[in-house]
Amino acid sequence: MTDKEVLVEVQNVSVVFGKGKHKFTAIDDVSFHIFKGETFGIVGESGSGKTTIGRAIMRINEVTEGQILYHGKSIQGKISKEWDREITQKIQMIFQDPMASLNERAKVDYIISEGLYSSKKYKDEADRQQKVRNALLNVGLLPEFSSRFPHEFSGGQRQRIGIARALVMDPEFIIADEPISALDVSIRAQVLNLLASLQQRNHLTYLFIAHDLSIVRFITDRTAVIYKGKMVELADTEKLFTHPLHPYTKALLSAVPEPNPYKERGKIVEVYDPSQHRYEENPPSFVEVEKGHFILANEEELTHYRTSLKMEGKT
């Protein structure tokens, strides 16, 4: 990745659902940015808020506090019609479950064209059909499939239809929300490879949401770890996997199964205990502890992290 232009900026974003007694903070003061051309991963356990962040960038979830910028311009609140149209086209999402995310009663042709219809992003009917054909070919499906219904396809093919639906809009940024976790293990690699080759060919930027750490390591350039709506660590992916600092990241990594059964047998899985932080008296902030490596820590913890980095000779 040579281009370091910032494409997406999430600034102190909180997303709160419900009101009064039922108020629930799903995302709590989260900040990060995504460079153009990179694959940025967000990992965390179920319910940690990964999807909510993706949906906030898609403008499906309303941001309660903070702001999200795309190409340096706010995407919320009162925005011009042109800007709204542009971001609706440029930011696309691929969903987790290809069985649930495709309209069963619509033909593939309509499913893929929906975004085109609402944005009127085609010259005439022949142009629309050509765009659908190209999108299907780009994801390795036959153009003839456009006259079929979703139930006629396998899980992997359906996810390819979901990808084609995003691609037909000629996007710049794709939020892939656990795009392979609902698929058979045997076809996961194919879909991942397809996403990787589309990224190269179409100069795409990805936000890749996952709970499976081995996939994140394989596909992302940088990774953020989220725990109960708070971002706790962010670093280059290799760095995060080889030199994790936050105890939650360490616990997550220690739970990844080892391919070697002998190692797996003797392995100690760390348990994360959030009460170790003592944040009541000394609250944390998300700070850069070394270049490009951010961590949620209070002053006391920061001193500890800096010392351990120094000992590794890496400050």
Q: Exactly one of 28, 37, 40, 52 binds ligand ATP (CB under 6 A); which one?
A: 52
Which part of the chain contacts ligand ATP (CB under 6 A), choosing from 49-57, 86-94, 125-133, 262-270? Answer: 49-57
Q: Which amino acid is at 180?
A: I
Cα separation, 314 vs 249, whole angstroms: 19
237 binds ligand ATP (CB under 6 A): no
243 binds ligand ATP (CB under 6 A): no
179 binds ligand ATP (CB under 6 A): no
Contact indicator for 167, 138 with CB cutoff of 8 Å: yes
The DSSP output letter for 101 is S
Which part of the chain contacts ligand ATP (CB under 6 A), choosing from 42-50, 74-82, 87-95, 142-150? Answer: 42-50
17 binds ligand ATP (CB under 6 A): yes
Nearest approach in angstroms of CB 105 to ligand ATP is 25
> Mask of contacts with ligand ATP, 194-213, x by CB under 6 A?
-----------------x--
Q: How many residues bind ligand ATP (CB under 6 A)?
A: 13
Q: Exactly one of 37, 44, 98, 244 binds ligand ATP (CB under 6 A); which one?
A: 44
Which part of the chain contacts ligand ATP (CB under 6 A), choosing from 1-9, 43-51, 111-119, 295-303? Answer: 43-51
Cα-trace Rg, the chain: 21
Burial of 220 (0-12, 13-18, 19+ CB in 10 A): buried
Helix runs in the chain, H state only? 50-57, 81-90, 108-119, 125-138, 155-167, 185-202, 213-219, 237-242, 247-254, 261-266, 299-311
Q: Give backbone dihedrals phi and psi of 16, rounded to 5 degrees, phi first.
A: -115, 130
Closest alpha carbon to 238 in 210, 224, 217, 258: 217
3-state secondary structure of 112: helix
Contact indicator for 239, 293 with CB cutoff of 8 Å: yes
49 binds ligand ATP (CB under 6 A): yes
46 binds ligand ATP (CB under 6 A): yes
Q: Which residues within the stretch 293-312 sit at the binding site for ligand ATP (CB under 6 A)?
A: none
Positions touching ligand ATP (CB under 6 A) are 17-18, 24, 26, 44, 46-52, 211
